[in-house]
Amino acid sequence: MTTKPAPNTLKKMGLDSPMALALHLPSRYEDETQLYSIEDGIHQGRFHAVQTQGVVIRNQVLFRPRRQMVVTIEDDTSTLQLRFLNFYPSQQKQMAVGTHLRVRGEVREGFQGPEMVHPTVRAVAVDAPLPTSLTPVYPASAGVSQAAIRKAVTQALRDPSLQDSLAEFLPKTLMNELLPSHDWPNLQSAITYLHQPPADADTQALLERTHPAWRRVQFEELLAQQISLKRAHAIRRERHAPHFAKPAAGNSLESRLLKVLPFQLTVAQQRVWEEIGADLSLPFPMNRLLQGDVGSGKTVISALAAARTMEYGYQAAVMAPTEILAEQHYLKMKEWFEPLGVQVAWLSGSLKAKEKRAAQEMIESGQAQLIIGTHALIQENVNFAKLGLAVIDEQHRFGVRQRLEIQQRVGSELFYCHQLMMSATPIPRTLAMTYYADLDVSVIDQLPPGRKPIATKVVKASRREEVIQGIKSWLSRGLQAYWVCPLIEESEALQLQTAVESFEQLSQALPEFKVGLVHGRLKSEEKAAIMAAFKANQIQLLVATTVIEVGVDVPNAALMVIEHAERFGYAQIHQLRGRVGRGSADSVCILMYAEPLSMAAKERLQTLRETADGFVIAERDLSLRGPGELLGAKQSGDAMLRFVDLQRDAWLIELAQRAAERLLSDHGDIVERHLERWLGSRAEFLKA
């Protein structure tokens, strides 16, 4: 492909070739195909943008109430003011008295009659022709004008090399078979249409991205993603991993662990463990996602997988995104495994240098059989002796590139470790079919016996005193409670201040009870001491920021109050709510909100009150936030699907999956061309 040099500003946006420009599709359109007289434009432009033209009869720079430029144009029918609150000297020259301007914008009633504020302006001849197609408006970064992008795109569409890049190479028979009822244009026609739609185009379908031209582009992009994921799945099966067959019944580490556990596995846990055990017995690396609501018992499954791995002389590692969650795993695993003779190591960023070095030496020598920690496990100076299994908890909290893919050499043998990802945030079906298509998924869909449903109540902040009195009667029954303070993203100091204020108010209101405070700025040993005191019921009410979101297990705590619940997302409240309901008492979660509530916040709180189904909540979360945040992909900087909306276009995913399977089995020559066209270097990213 020949590449024409692009201006530096366009290159910075990644628009450095005809193909990149062709795929830089408009976000919306302006209709410049119609021209109104000023008088008609004033009447038509009250609710939407209109285009009119006239001669400049006045150009003033005013300084009341602030510096602004006011330009007056007129035609045979009326006059119109153009107001600019920000302007350059060059614009003053462009709109000098006597210049004929064509302007586009919404009309409003100003102090001195009808006006447009910051309209689009062009100096043109009186009889300048109107465009025959809608004017595209492109995504742009600072310093890049729409005119520059439009010019570059128009040149790119005429570039001969683009004919090859957009050539139709998907077999017609395959397209007819898969898409018999869809009359979609070929790719080149679709892209040309989206850049230059005719004046009579269905603008609603274009804006909603449901037009046949958009559908063709979306299908092709999804097809590339599905091919890439299916290939990654196939490549993984060609890799070598140590395989751990189910040991004979008797004195295996696995059977000894099951005997010391203070509970029986549920039917759902047994089913999931059989699926994971079967993966571990295969000679290629497991890549499985274990989903289960908060408290469903994912930790014990990871412990069994670790026991199977260690039985064969390999190490197992468990990594969690926060120190408090990692420490919870460490204490639990240590309690289970140390009596069985297993050496458990702990590694986190907060360890002193000497302790860290000692842990690293234990890991490298193989003395540590089970290693638990935070991101510190994937630092450069951590070398495993013989790692067979990596368990990654709350995997969506890690960036895509941070997920462990460890390859090691033992003697002459190169092998990869098995990977088990765990999440209490269910993956919506559409997300599982696209971004997680390379993962096998297991779901624990049953809570352990004795776990009771949690009643969720939504309460106005004005009833705060009433809530505090409710806590008093709750604590008087010997139960414990959490009070979670609001998330204030822009200021950790402000968040801490709010937590301290709530702590002081609650301490005064409940003098007969011990109130504790835990927040992100405490040292890890201070946090651990407070959490231990809460677990031992030496603290009855724990005021906390979201550091308790994951990894806290206090069965006697059956009440949770979430202050300013409107500031929290779906997944966060769902996670927090799961901290209660772990004992025999009826549990309640109170979502306290401040007014006025936005429509989105109202809907969110309503949904959380009505359902505890993690999958319903995850689907709502996906529609609100998009896939980037749920995946951890935002941290990577790669936007993986540019034109597809997973909810609006869900029905396309299955079409793309079927097409990908057919291309991989019957048309291997086409696969590479399709991936190069759509993903380029990003094809590797999807394997992460």
Its CATH class, for the domain covering 253-444, is: alpha beta
Q: Out of 1.10.260.40, 3.40.50.460, 3.40.47.10, 2.40.50.140, which CATH number does the structure's domain 34-130 have?
A: 2.40.50.140
> CA 431 to CA 633: how far, in whole Å?
12
Cα dihedral angle (133, 134, 135, 139), rounded to 10 degrees?
A: -130
Mean pLDDT, consecutive 10-residue stretches, the chain (688 aa), reads 55 85 91 92 87 95 87 95 90 93 93 91 92 88 83 92 85 80 87 93 90 93 87 84 86 90 89 96 91 82 96 92 80 92 89 88 93 82 88 63 57 81 73 69 77 84 91 91 73 67 91 88 79 89 70 78 84 77 81 85 85 70 54 40 81 88 87 82 46
Quote the pLDDT of residue 631: 45
Quote the pLDDT of residue 463: 92
Quote the pLDDT of residue 648: 81
Quote the tokens at residue 385: 């002796």
Report the Cα–Cα distance between both ends of the chain, in Å, rounded.
Answer: 28
Amino acid at 111: F
Triad 120, 122, 126: Cα angle to 5°: 130
Q: What is the DSSP letter of 170?
A: S
Its CATH class, for the domain covering 454-611, is: alpha beta
> CA 386 to CA 409: how far, in whole Å?
9
Same fold, 253-444 and 454-611: yes
Quote the pLDDT of residue 637: 31
Q: What is the DSSP letter of 567?
A: G
Quote the tokens at residue 434: 């696209």
In the chain, what are the domain boundaries? Answer: 1-25+136-201, 34-130, 253-444, 454-611
Quote the pLDDT of residue 193: 95
pTM as predicted: 0.66
Distance of CA 442 to the CA centre of its chain: 21
Quote the pLDDT of residue 640: 60
Quote the pLDDT of residue 402: 44
| Of 93, 86, 51, 56, nearest in space to 72 by CA | 56
Antiparallel, parallel or unpaired: β 440-444 and 454-460: unpaired
Quote the pLDDT of residue 42: 92
A 10 A CB-CB count for 218 gives 24
